[in-house]
C-alpha cells in the first residue's frame, strides 16, 4: 500500500514539474504558488524515497560481501554497518508514512497552544509548566518559532494558564491532535510521604490563519481594562498598570495579556488572541452546520475525555486514542514528541 502511494506521488511530481514550466507566474500567481507548494511536498517524498533506495542498495551490497568474504573481523564490521542501516531505514519508513499523507490546507499555519491547569491544584499548575517546556523543546527540535501570548503563574512556579503561538513548516500538521485532557501520575514535590498523585491539565489547539484577518472587531464592542501585572515577585513584575484585559461584549469572549512590560504591546497581543478566538468560534459554528461532531477541545468546544497519561514512576506515556504506549517518558518530556505525532497523523488519516 505504501509503495503504491509513493509511486503515485512520484508520477504526480512529473506532472507538477511540467505544469510549473508552463504556468505564467505574472498572469496566475495564485496557481503558481499552489503548484510550488505541491512541488515542495512531492520533492520531499522523492528525497525520502531515494534515500530508502540507497539504504536498501547498501544492505544488499553488504549481504553480497558477507557471502563472499568469511573473515570474522570483516563480518563484525558488516554486522555493525547493517545495524546502522536498519535504524536509518526505520526512520525513513516513518518519514515516508507521514509524507504520503496528503498535505492539509492548514498544515503550515501558525498554531496556538492553550494549556490550563485542571484537577490537582498546585501539581496541575506545575505540570502545565512542564508541558510548556516539553512543547518548546519540541518546537526547537522541529525548527519552529515560539512566542508567549499570555501566562498566569501559579504559586509554586507553574502556570494556571499558558498560551503560546508556534510557527514554522508543518507546525499544525504535527500539533493538531494534541488538544484534550492530559493526565499526569507522579509523586508531587509537595508530597512528603511519596504517594503518587493524579492531576490533569487541558490543552487546546487553535489556528491563526490569514483568514482571521476577515474578522471585524468594532472598538465600540470592546471593554478594555488595565491592571498591574501579577507574578511571583521580583524585579520582573511590572510596577505599572501594563496588563490588559479585553472583553468582546457581543460574544462574551475575554482575553488577558501581561507578557510585555508595555501596555501598548500587551493590547496588541490581546487583540491578536481575541481575533484568533473569534475566528475559531466562527469555524466551529460553520462546522456544526454540516457536522454533528463537536470539536473535543478545551477552548474550542466541549471538554475532552483524557487523551493521554504521563506516568512518571513507570517512565511511561500512553495515548489512549490509538493505544500507543512508550517507555521513554523522560525523553518525551525533553521534547521527543515526533514519533507520537506521526502515529496520530497516520491513525486519523486512515480513519478519514
Q: Candidates 2.120.10.30, 3.30.70.1660, 3.40.1130.10, 3.40.630.30; correct CATH number of 108-352?
A: 3.30.70.1660
The confidence score (pLDDT) of residue 314 equals 96
The tens digit of pLDDT for each residue in 200-241 reads: 999 999 888 666 656 788 888 889 988 877 655 444 444 557
Residue matched to cell numbers 521580583: 234
Cα gap 109→173, rounded to integer Å: 9
Where are the domain boundaries for CATH 3.30.70.1660 in the chain? 108-352
Question: Mean pLDDT in the chain?
Answer: 85
The confidence score (pLDDT) of residue 234 equals 43
The pLDDT of 36-60, averaged and rounded, is: 92
DSSP string covering 64-87: HHHHH---HHHHHHHHHHHHHHHH
The confidence score (pLDDT) of residue 332 equals 97
Chain-centre distance for alpha carbon 233: 32
The confidence score (pLDDT) of residue 259 equals 78
Give residue 347's pLDDT band: very low, low, confident or very high (50, 70, 90).
Answer: confident
Q: Is the pLDDT of residue 346 over 60?
A: yes
Q: Is the pLDDT of residue 303 over 60?
A: no
- b/e map 228-240, b = 16+ CB within 10 Å: ebeeeeeeeebee
Cα gap 69→177, rounded to integer Å: 50
The tens digit of pLDDT for each residue in 10-30 reads: 999 999 999 998 888 778 888
φ and ψ of 326, to 5 deg: -130, 145
Q: Is the pLDDT of residue 54 over 80?
A: yes
Cα gap 251→243, rounded to integer Å: 22
The confidence score (pLDDT) of residue 149 equals 86
Give residue 283's pLDDT band: very low, low, confident or very high (50, 70, 90).
Answer: confident
Topology adopted by domain 2-99: Methane Monooxygenase Hydroxylase; Chain G, domain 1 (1.20.58)
Q: Is the pLDDT of residue 75 over 50?
A: yes
The strand order across the sheet containing 243-248 reads 222-227, 243-248, 253-257
The confidence score (pLDDT) of residue 113 equals 94
Q: Is the pLDDT of residue 302 over 50?
A: no
Q: Is the pLDDT of residue 294 over 60?
A: no
Where are the domain boundaries for CATH 1.20.58 in the chain? 2-99
Q: Which residues pair with 116 in a beta bridge?
A: 161, 202
pLDDT-wise least confident of 271-275, 323-327, 341-345: 271-275
- b/e map 295-314, b = 16+ CB within 10 Å: bebbbbbeebeebbbbbbee
φ and ψ of 10, to 5 deg: -70, -35
Q: Is the pLDDT of residue 148 over 80?
A: yes
The confidence score (pLDDT) of residue 209 equals 66
Q: Is the pLDDT of residue 293 over 60?
A: no
Give residue 176's pLDDT band: very low, low, confident or very high (50, 70, 90).
Answer: very high
Query: pTM higher than 0.75, yes or no?
Result: no
The confidence score (pLDDT) of residue 289 equals 61
Q: Is the pLDDT of residue 252 over 80?
A: yes
Amino acid at each position: 500500500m505504501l509503495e503504491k502511494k509513493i509511486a503515485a506521488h512520484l508520477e504526480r511530481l512529473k506532472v507538477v514539474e511540467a505544469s510549473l514550466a508552463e504556468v505564467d507566474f505574472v498572469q496566475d500567481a495564485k496557481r503558481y504558488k499552489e503548484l510550488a507548494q505541491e512541488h515542495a511536498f512531492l520533492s520531499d517524498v522523492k528525497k525520502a524515497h531515494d534515500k530508502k533506495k540507497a539504504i536498501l542498495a547498501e544492505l544488499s551490497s553488504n549481504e553480497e560481501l558477507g557471502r563472499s568474504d568469511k573473515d570474522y573481523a570483516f563480518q563484525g564490521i558488516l554486522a555493525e554497518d547493517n545495524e546502522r542501516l536498519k535504524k536509518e531505514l526505520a526512520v525513513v519508513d516513518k518519514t515516508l508514512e507521514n509524507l504520503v499523507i496528503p498535505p492539509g490546507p492548514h498544515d503550515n499555519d501558525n498554531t496556538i497552544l492553550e494549556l490550563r491547569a485542571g484537577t490537582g491544584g498546585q501539581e496541575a499548575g506545575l505540570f502545565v509548566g512542564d508541558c510548556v517546556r516539553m512543547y518548546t523543546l519540541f518546537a526547537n527540535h522541529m525548527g519552529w518559532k515560539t512566542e508567549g501570548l499570555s501566562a498566569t503563574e501559579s504559586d509554586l512556579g507553574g502556570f494556571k494558564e499558558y498560551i503560546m503561538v508556534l510557527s514554522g513548516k508543518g507546525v499544525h500538521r504535527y500539533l493538531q491532535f494534541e488538544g484534550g485532557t492530559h493526565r499526569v501520575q507522579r509523586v508531587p514535590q509537595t508530597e512528603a510521604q511519596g504517594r503518587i498523585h493524579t492531576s490533569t491539565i487541558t490543552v487546546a489547539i487553535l489556528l491563526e490563519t490569514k483568514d482571521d484577518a476577515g474578522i471585524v472587531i468594532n472598538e465600540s464592542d470592546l471593554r478594555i481594562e488595565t491592571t498591574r501585572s501579577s507574578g511571583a515577585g521580583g524585579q520582573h513584575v511590572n510596577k505599572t498598570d501594563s496588563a490588559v484585559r479585553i472583553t468582546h461584549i457581543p460574544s462574551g469572549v475575554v482575553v488577558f495579556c501581561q507578557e510585555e512590560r508595555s501596555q501598548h504591546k500587551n493590547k496588541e497581543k490581546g487583540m491578536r488572541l481575541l481575533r484568533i478566538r473569534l475566528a475559531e468560534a466562527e469555524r466551529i459554528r460553520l462546522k456544526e452546520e454540516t457536522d454533528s461532531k463537536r470539536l473535543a477541545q478545551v477552548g474550542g468546544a466541549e471538554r475532552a475525555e483524557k487523551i493521554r497519561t504521563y506516568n512518571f514512576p513507570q517512565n511511561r506515556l500512553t495515548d489512549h486514542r490509538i493505544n500507543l504506549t512508550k517507555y521513554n517518558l523522560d525523553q518525551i518530556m525533553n521534547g521527543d514528541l515526533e514519533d507520537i505525532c506521526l502515529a496520530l497523523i497516520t491513525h486519523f488519516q486512515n480513519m478519514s
